[in-house]
Amino acid sequence: MLRALIVVAIVITAGAVAWIAWPRGAAPPAARDAGVARAVPPPVRVPDRSGAAGPAVRFALRDRKGAPVAGVDVRAAPPSGALASATSGSDGTVTLPLGPGRWHLTVAEHRVAGAADLEIDGPIAHDVAILVDPAEAPPPEPEDLGRDRSGGLTGVITGGGAHLDDVTIAPTYLGAFGPGKPVKHDRLPHPIAIPPRRFLGAPAGYKWPELPAGGYDLVVTSPGWGAAHLRATVEPTGWGVGTVELVPAGSISGVVQDGRGVAVSGVTVRAEVDDHLVDEATTGGDGIYVVDELPAGVVTLSARVGHDACTPARDIVTVEAGKRATHRIEMVCAWQGH
C-alpha cells in the first residue's frame, strides 16, 4: 500500500513540473506529435521600384542606316539611386544592370530618337533596339501641365492576339476639363507634346501615373508592329484607357529624283500619320530612302533638302500591313535645265 502511494506521488509531481516548465501558448506534446502546427503566413514580396540595379538589359544601338553605333558611353539614370553606365561594343550592343522602375537613357554625343524614358516592369528576353542620331541641340523643356496630376493612362497593347512587352506611348496633352463641359482647349494656347515613354517587360499592360486630367492624343508603337493613333481621356483622380490592337508593320522604300531622273542626295524623307512623325530617313548618293515601322493605311511622305536647293515634296502613299510599298519621289531642283 505504501509503495503504491509513493508511485502516485512521483507521477503527480512529475506532471506538475512538466506543466510549469512548458512554454505558455505552445501546443501540447500530443498536438505537436500529431503534426498540428501554427499557420505562418508567406512573406509578401513588394516589387522594387526604386531603380536599383537588377537583371541585365542589353541594348543594341543603331543609326538611321541600321549600322551599329560603337564606342559610345551609354548611361541610365533612375529618379534616385545609382547610375548605370557602360560603353557600347563593336557590334553596338551594351549591357546595363537595370532593375524594375523608371530610367532615363542618354548616349554620349548622340540623341536618342523616340523614347529616352524607360519603364521596366520585368525581365527582357531580347535585345532592346535603340535608334540614335548625332548630337543635336537639346530638346526644349516640357511645358508646365499644372499641379493637379492625380490621374494617369493605362492600357493593354496587343499584336496578333498576344500581349506585347515592348511598347512606346507618345502622348499629346490636348487640354483640361471645362466646368460642366467636355474636354476642350480652355487653358492651353496649343497642344503640349509630352516626352514619350517606353514600357519594357510589361506584357500585362502599361501604367503611366501622375498625369493631369484632360484629353490626350496617343501614338502607340511596338517594334515590328507599326503604330496606332487613338484618343484617351483622363478623369480627375482616375485612369484613362489607351488600349489597341496593332497589326504587323509595313514600310516604304524608293528613290528621290529630280525632274531629269537624277538621284538627289541629302534629302530628309519623313513618314507621318495624322500629322505624327513615325519614321524618317536621309538619302545618300543613290537617292534611296527606306522608312519602317509604319501602320497599315494612308501615310504622308514629306521630302525636304537643306538650303532649299529643291522644292519640298509631299506625297500620299497607302501601306499594307506587313508589306513594303515602293514610291518614287520627284523634286524640282534649282539645277534643272542647266
38 or 336: which leads in pLDDT: 336
State yes or no: pLDDT of 189 exceeds 60. no
Three-state DSSP state, 141: coil
Pick the closest to residue 69 from 113, 136, 130, 138 (CA basis): 130
Outline where the chain has alpha helix (H): 2-21, 29-33
307 or 102: which leads in pLDDT: 102
- Return the CATH number of 250-331, one of 2.60.40.1220, 2.60.40.10, 2.102.10.10, 3.10.20.30: 2.60.40.10
- As a CATH number, domain 56-134 is 2.60.40.1120
Beta carbons within 8 Å of 9's beta carbon, 6+ residues apart: none
**Grid cell in block for residue 75:** 548611361
* Residue the block writes with cell 497589326: 247
Distance CA 279, CA 301 (A): 10
Distance CA 221, CA 62 (A): 18
Pairing relationship of beta strands 128-134 and 84-87 according to DSSP bridges: unpaired
The residues of the chain that CATH labels 2.60.40.10 are 250-331
Range with lowest mean pLDDT among 35-39, 107-111, 171-175: 35-39
Write b or e for each residue in 179-201: b if 16 or more Cβ atoms lie within 10 A of its Cβ, otherwise e: eeeebeeeeeeeebbbebbbbbb
On whether the CB atoms of residues 281 and 291 are closer than 8 A, the answer is: yes
Pick the closest to residue 154 from 223, 212, 234 (CA basis): 234
Reported as a single tens digit per residue, the pLDDT across 29-49 is: 443 344 333 444 344 333 444
Confidence of residue 199 (pLDDT cuts 50, 70, 90): very high
On whether the CB atoms of residues 97 and 54 are closer than 8 A, the answer is: yes
pLDDT, average across residues 68-80: 92
Confidence of residue 146 (pLDDT cuts 50, 70, 90): low
pLDDT, average across residues 281-286: 91
State yes or no: pLDDT of 139 exceeds 70. no
The residues of the chain that CATH labels 2.60.40.1120 are 56-134, 151-246
Homologous superfamily (CATH) of 151-246 is Carboxypeptidase-like, regulatory domain (2.60.40.1120)
* pTM value surpassing 0.85: no
Write down the pLDDT at residue 92. 94
Write down the pLDDT at residue 40. 40
Write down the pLDDT at residue 35. 39
First to last CA, the chain: 140
Backbone region of residue 175 per phi and psi (left: phi > 0; alpha: psi in -120 to 50; beta: other values)? left
On whether the CB atoms of residues 12 and 20 are closer than 8 A, the answer is: no
Write down the pLDDT at residue 140. 60
